[in-house]
Chains A and B, each alone.
Chain A
Amino acid sequence: MSETYNIKGQDGIQVFTDLPEGAQVTLTNGAVGTIIGNPRDGAFLEVTYSEHPDSSLVGADEFVFFNQVESAASK
């Protein structure tokens, strides 16, 4: 059962900062990735893309900024 993380609510900054490795994120550009690292800086997540509008980036790792992250859910 997948759990949705409320990263946009009042406590969103804490939820975002605590997002665990393995959680799935959907980005504003439609890309989908798995968190492989959370620096806990409240700003970035390191993700591996499983879907991306630019298909050459599928499988690539990238640090994404919080305002690129539309939603997050456990696997």
Chain B
Amino acid sequence: MANIVRAIGDRSIRAYIDPERGTVSRELYVNDDIFAQELEQIYQRCWLLLGHESQIPNPGDFVVTRMGTEEVLMVRDRKDHKIRAFLNSCRHRGMKVCRYDEGNTLVFTCPYHAWTYDTKGKLVGVGFGNYANAYTDTLPTGSEEWGLVEVGQICNFYGSIWATWDPKAPSFQDYLGPFAESLRHCLQSSDGEDAGLEFFTPFQRHRIPTNWKVPGFTSVTDLTHTAMTHRSAQAAGLHEDRGTGKETAKPFPQEKYAIGDHNLGHGGMCTFYDQLGVPDYANEWFEPGVDDYFRAQTERKKLLIADRIMPPHGWGGGHFAIFPAVMVDSWRIRYYHPHETGITERWSLFGVDKNAPDHVKDAVRHYAERFNGPVGFFESDDMENWNYVFPASQGATARKYDYFYRNGLGHGKYDDRLPGVVVNGSYTEEAHRARFSRWLAFMEAKSWDDLYPLNKSANHNIWPGVDGQASAKA
């Protein structure tokens, strides 16, 4: 049995990542003690995605979402119309105060003893008559103390809603660092309007019997898996069902990289354009009229961005991973919720220009439905690999043998266009290593004081060889 970190600040966890050899212990993925620590050290602190404001447009609207293993209510208050988020657990005995997926409500009423909370989370009623009758004099009417547990901070980032339990976490903008512009870009409509997307309802939610880091860390920005994992979709001609690649637009001078931010843990596949403006639109869709719409949108975006270089963004169906387990590209937001060491739930939201005509929305929706998730052409293949990674890594023998995370080790370099971020080839595991750098920092940190500002973090970029800087510390 592995020697697992037992206390906050215990640095024995460092034994499970070997930066010099470029390896990571399987214990990270299969060990129940490490999983329990992650819920404290990572999920209690990080900014996590709740959903999108377009899911709750009206006063009193709510949707049940998650932060890690726990359910959270994302609510638009019926009076001040602000979005707040609360743990879905009654303060009296811990029962779920809401068991609907979404809706519009005045209050959340616990079905156990009828403790009832308004859309600001305030306790506004209890069962069995008034407070004094029911709870002697121990619970004052309208007690502020016993409201629903509210998140520490919440942020509306161009329509996407994020929260952290930790009031000491840096702002979401700072948490994103150089990725803020890229995420902003992902949330723009195709003509470049900020917060120009709406997201189809509801969440696509499904279980994957594996550790959350398998898809969350390992399978985002994983270019070497596509040819084999998705062999069947390509062999069956399904990669052309959106018409991809039928016409090649005149390409911009560009560089494509796998990138990893070892300080913040984010990573992705990144295109840097070396030319001002926006490249010509290339046909992608077989449904009539859809390419016409996107071409016109691109022409509008060209006017908007004529005199500057587009922010770095994903390529090749590529995506940015926001630590710990969110994956964003220009039309999808997907995130992985741990349930148990070997059970993960994935939630997806699919975006479309909010002002797009119906035939465009239909095409985008149909593509989302048939491409993604447990029913998706492409992703059903991912599920099988993600699933059986877990039992085949769990055994007493298997867990003694590390995973290979060496691809590109020693070949990374910093790039001024994304300060502090390592760029490294196109098929490397740089983005994965960045997540493990940050993972280690979180697992060792006593609090956010050890994690931000970044120069106080002793262990960012633990992997050697970036610009010759071996910064691994014992």
A38 to B107, CA, bound (A): 9
Q: Is B130 on the interface with A (CB-CB < 8 A)?
A: yes
Given the interface pairs A39-B107, A43-B114, the reply to whether A64 lies near B128 with Cβ below 8 Å is no
Q: Are B106 and A43 in contact (CB under 8 A)?
A: no
Given the interface pairs A41-B107, A43-B114, the reply to whether A63 lies near B128 with Cβ below 8 Å is no
Q: Is B105 on the interface with A (CB-CB < 8 A)?
A: yes
Q: Is A46 on the interface with B (CB-CB < 8 A)?
A: yes
Q: Is A14 on the interface with B (CB-CB < 8 A)?
A: no
> Which chain A residues border B129 with CB–CB below 8 Å?
28, 65, 67-68
Tell me the chain A residues, 13-31 only, with Cβ under 8 Å from chain B: 28-29
A43 to B130, CA, bound (A): 13
From A63, which residue of chain B is reached at the shortest CB distance?
B125
A41 to B97, CA, bound (A): 11
What number of A-B contacts does a CB cutoff of 8 Å give?
Answer: 41
Instruction: For residue B141, give the distance in angstroms from its CB to the closest CB of chain A.
Output: 8
Looking at chain B's contact residues, is the secondary structure mostly helix, strand, loop, or mixed? loop
Tell me the chain A residues, 32-54 only, with Cβ under 8 Å from chain B: 37-39, 41, 43-44, 46
Q: Are A44 and B125 in contact (CB under 8 A)?
A: yes
Q: Are A44 and B130 in contact (CB under 8 A)?
A: no
Instruction: For residue A22, give the distance in angstroms from its CB to the closest CB of chain B.
Output: 15
A46 to B116, CA, bound (A): 11
A51 to B130, CA, bound (A): 16
Instruction: For residue A18, give the distance in angstroms from its CB to the closest CB of chain B.
Output: 15
The answer, among A37, A39, A65, for a CB contact under 8 Å with B128, is A65
Q: Is B127 on the interface with A (CB-CB < 8 A)?
A: yes
Given the interface pairs A63-B116, A65-B114, A68-B130, the reply to whether A41 lies near B109 with Cβ below 8 Å is yes
> Which chain A residues border B128 with CB–CB below 8 Å?
65, 67
Instruction: For residue A32, give the distance in angstroms from its CB to the closest CB of chain B.
Output: 16
Tell me the chain B residues, 105-155 only, with Cβ under 8 Å from chain A: 105-107, 109, 114, 116, 124-130
Instruction: For residue B470, give the distance in angstroms from its CB to the closest CB of chain A.
Output: 61
Instruction: For residue A13, give the distance in angstroms from its CB to the closest CB of chain B.
Output: 14
A63 to B129, CA, bound (A): 11
A39 to B109, CA, bound (A): 9
A68 to B127, CA, bound (A): 9
Considering only CB atoms and an 8 Å cut-off, how many residues of chain A contact the other chain?
15
Q: What bracket does the count of chain B residues touching chain A fall in?
A: 10 to 19
Q: Are A64 and B106 in contact (CB under 8 A)?
A: no
Instruction: For residue B178, give the distance in angstroms from its CB to the closest CB of chain A.
Output: 45
A20 to B126, CA, bound (A): 22
> Which chain A residues border B105 with CB–CB below 8 Å?
39
- Contact digits for B67-96, partner A, Cβ 8 Å, 1 yes 0 no: 000000000000000000000000000000
Given the interface pairs A43-B114, A43-B116, A44-B116, the reply to whether A65 lies near B127 with Cβ below 8 Å is yes
Given the interface pairs A37-B106, A63-B116, A65-B114, the reply to whether A43 lies near B127 with Cβ below 8 Å is yes
From A41, which residue of chain B is reached at the shortest CB distance?
B109
Instruction: For residue B416, give the distance in angstroms from its CB to the closest CB of chain A.
Output: 56
> Which chain B residues border A29 with CB–CB below 8 Å?
130
From B118, which residue of chain A is reached at the shortest CB distance?
A63
From B124, which residue of chain A is reached at the shortest CB distance?
A63
A38 to B104, CA, bound (A): 12
> Which chain A residues border B126 with CB–CB below 8 Å?
65
A44 to B125, CA, bound (A): 8
Instruction: For residue B103, give the distance in angstroms from its CB to the closest CB of chain A.
Output: 10
Instruction: For residue B211, give the distance in angstroms from its CB to the closest CB of chain A.
Output: 38
A43 to B107, CA, bound (A): 11
Instruction: For residue A36, give the distance in angstroms from its CB to the closest CB of chain B.
Output: 9
> Which chain B residues border A63 with CB–CB below 8 Å?
107, 116, 124-125
A41 to B126, CA, bound (A): 13
Instruction: For residue A39, give the distance in angstroms from its CB to the closest CB of chain B.
Output: 4
A46 to B124, CA, bound (A): 10
> Which chain B residues border A65 with CB–CB below 8 Å?
114, 125-130
Instruction: For residue B326, give the distance in angstroms from its CB to the closest CB of chain A.
Output: 33
A74 to B400, CA, bound (A): 74
Instruction: For residue A60, give the distance in angstroms from its CB to the closest CB of chain B.
Output: 10
Given the interface pairs A43-B114, A43-B116, A44-B116, the reply to whether A64 lies near B109 with Cβ below 8 Å is no
A33 to B126, CA, bound (A): 18
From B110, which residue of chain A is reached at the shortest CB distance?
A43
A63 to B116, CA, bound (A): 9
Instruction: For residue B148, give the distance in angstroms from its CB to the closest CB of chain A.
Output: 15
- Using CB atoms and an 8 Å cutoff, list the residues of chain B in contact with chain A: 105-107, 109, 114, 116, 124-130
The 8 closest A-B pairs by CB, nearest first: A63-B125, A39-B106, A41-B109, A37-B106, A39-B107, A63-B124, A43-B109, A43-B114
In the assembled complex, 11 residue pairs joining A and B whose CB atoms fall closer than 8 Å, in A order, are A29-B130, A39-B109, A43-B109, A43-B114, A43-B116, A43-B127, A46-B107, A62-B124, A65-B128, A67-B129, A68-B129
Given contacts A43-B109, A63-B116, list 11 more A-B pairs with CB under 8 A.
A38-B106, A39-B105, A39-B106, A39-B107, A41-B109, A44-B107, A63-B107, A63-B125, A65-B128, A65-B130, A68-B129
